[in-house]
Chain A
Amino acid sequence: MADGISKVLPEDVMMFILIRLNVKSLIRLKCVSKTLYTLVQSSMFINFHLKRATTAKDEFILLKRSFQEKPNKFKSILSFLFGVNDHIDLRPTSPDQDVPYLTTTNSCIFHQILGPCRGLIVLTDSESIVVRISQVIGDPPFNDYNVREWRVEVYDMITDSWRDLDHVDQQLPNLCWYPCSEMFYKGAVHWFATNDTVLILCFDLSTEIFRNMKMPDTCDFFDGKCYGLVVLDESLTLICYPNPGSVPKQGKELTDIWIMKEYGVNESWVKKYTIRPLPIESPLAIWRDHLLFLQSKSGLLITYDLHSEEVKEFNLQGFPKRLRIAIYKESLTPIPNGSELRSQFQN
């Protein structure tokens, strides 16, 4: 009786070898035997594979662009890119994909890409419907001005349904929207919000508790700046850039990059870079800790090298404010069968 295991290598060595393979090879090689098939699909193997040592070569870029087809009709496309050479050139790893189930009206300006979280990336559209999700994801609090009551719903992957959070008794600040303002970091979703001043609102996915974090002292909601959240040197990073919709005030044309040295400690904000005036429509992400991806006012994808201060344009563009980027590495994490959502999209 065949047992499906190697007569050459012990099982643990076999696993050490397999976790070093990319997803494409693993999907192919799991057909070798039932034993291997079961191993590769096990959550233990998926976790090991996710935490494997990777290099810059294993990092890919997910780029979402939206194009205007008619006055209030947009089309969204996902591109999967990787960098060639250090002086990066971006090439596709696989063909572009349409995402027909995202909103296609002008409100596609609110699309966000969250994650990756345990190997999955979440696309949300203007109604904050979570299209793909891992574990539990918070939904921005809905602020209903008439009833003055907070309603927070969380999509729960395990029960595959939306669930009201009933223990939100605190007064939540009003969310304010910027293109690169929804971010997943250290197990929490982050947004910008205002009460008297602008702050960062966090929702911890494991405890389901909201927290506020202060912005650096010099950030003033009324100085005509927009904000973006990214990760740099593994720290929560704030980008303050001039509002692209207005002429910057004297002395406010620069972009500042702040790092929160110690996560959650309001006093630990440090200004790391100041960038010369650039035609920034929105920041997108920081790659390899020195390349700041931006959308230019003309809609193009550009990078600004934080070290050399060089700007590079790419032949990739989308409607202004509608480019999004997530940096990811391949994972085996299966997308949960969201029966409710899936059928909703099929109907």
Chain B
Amino acid sequence: MASSTTGEKKILTLKGGDNEEFILEESLVLQSELLKNMVKEERVSSIPLPSIKSKTLVKIIEYLKKHAELTPSNKEEFKNFEKEFVNVVLEELLDITVAVNYLKINGLLEFCCQAVADRIKDKSVEAVRKIFRIESDFTPEEESEFRKETPEAFEGDLDDTTN
């Protein structure tokens, strides 16, 4: 029996990228498919998540708590929480999305992807390249062909800040 218990509730420690520790009830992390498998199969009590920033982890834990409290009567409240949850700078939203994908929290992943899609839908090609750090692999000839054929693609919202 590896995990410690207080009464009936099992406690688990998550270690963020900067070694900050988060202690929470095991039942909360079961929403993550990845952590669920770790807990069930390996019976660990402390899980290091070096690739996830503590700041990101704080946000995700906040979501897990809210989601665990979701009932039919506070559905509206939860929806508002979700809206606020993704109302962060784009860079942070991308960090959260990557972490949620890694942790396999499916419902939240869908919600985050939709939020990212909403934020980039009107952006120009150049802006999207910068936001996602994509280097174009078109040849210069192909690129100039595109600019001629679909000049509007390179217009749109030029704001590439991830803030």
Q: Measuring CB to CB, which residues of chain A are less than 8 angstroms from any residue of chain B?
A: 1-10, 12-14, 16-18, 20-22, 25, 27-29, 31-37
Whether B135 pairs with A33 at a CB distance below 8 angstroms is yes
Residues in chain B near residue A1, CB distance under 8 A: 137
Residues in chain B near residue A36, CB distance under 8 A: 134
Question: Please, how many residues of chain B have a CB less than 8 angstroms from a CB on the other chain?
Answer: 33
Whether A22 pairs with B121 at a CB distance below 8 angstroms is yes
For B134, give its contact among A27, A28, A33 (CB under 8 Å).
A33
Residues in chain B near residue A33, CB distance under 8 A: 129, 134-138
Query: Contact mask B4-27 → A, CB, 8 Å, 1/0?
Result: 000000000000000000000000
Inter-chain CA distance A117–B151, complex, in Å, is: 32
Query: Contact mask B101-121 → A, CB, 8 Å, 1/0?
Result: 100000001100110110011
Inter-chain CA distance A33–B142, complex, in Å, is: 10
Interface secondary structure of B, over-half rule: helix
Inter-chain CA distance A62–B25, complex, in Å, is: 53
Residues in chain A near residue B138, CB distance under 8 A: 4, 33-34, 37
Chain A residue nearest to B97 (CB atoms) is A13
Inter-chain CA distance A36–B133, complex, in Å, is: 13
Residues in chain B near residue A16, CB distance under 8 A: 109-110, 113
Residues in chain A near residue B152, CB distance under 8 A: 28
B86 CB to nearest A CB, Å = 13
Inter-chain CA distance A31–B137, complex, in Å, is: 10
Whether A31 pairs with B134 at a CB distance below 8 angstroms is no
Inter-chain CA distance A128–B79, complex, in Å, is: 50
Tell me, yes or no, whether B85 is within 8 Å of chain A by CB. Answer: no
Residues in chain B near residue A6, CB distance under 8 A: 132-134
Please give me the 4 A-B residue pairs with the lowest Cβ-Cβ distance, nearest first.
Answer: A4-B137, A2-B135, A20-B117, A7-B133
Inter-chain CA distance A21–B115, complex, in Å, is: 11
Whether B98 pairs with A34 at a CB distance below 8 angstroms is no
B94 CB to nearest A CB, Å = 6
Q: How many A-B pairs with Cβ below 8 Å?
A: 91
Inter-chain CA distance A32–B133, complex, in Å, is: 11
Whether B129 pairs with A13 at a CB distance below 8 angstroms is no
A266 CB to nearest B CB, Å = 41
- Interchain Cβ contacts under 8 Å between A and B, 25 examples: A3-B137, A4-B134, A6-B134, A7-B132, A8-B133, A9-B132, A10-B98, A10-B101, A13-B97, A13-B113, A16-B110, A17-B113, A21-B120, A25-B121, A28-B125, A28-B153, A28-B156, A29-B120, A29-B125, A29-B128, A32-B125, A32-B136, A33-B138, A34-B137, A36-B134
Q: A21-B117, A31-B154 are in contact. List 6 more A-B contacts (CB 8 A).
A: A3-B135, A13-B101, A17-B116, A21-B121, A28-B125, A33-B137
Residues in chain B near residue A13, CB distance under 8 A: 97-98, 101, 109, 113
A8 CB to nearest B CB, Å = 5
Inter-chain CA distance A9–B131, complex, in Å, is: 10
Q: Which of B129-163 contact A (CB under 8 A)?
A: 129, 131-138, 142, 146, 150, 152-154, 156
B14 CB to nearest A CB, Å = 21
A129 CB to nearest B CB, Å = 31
Whether A34 pairs with B142 at a CB distance below 8 angstroms is yes
Chain B residue nearest to A7 (CB atoms) is B133
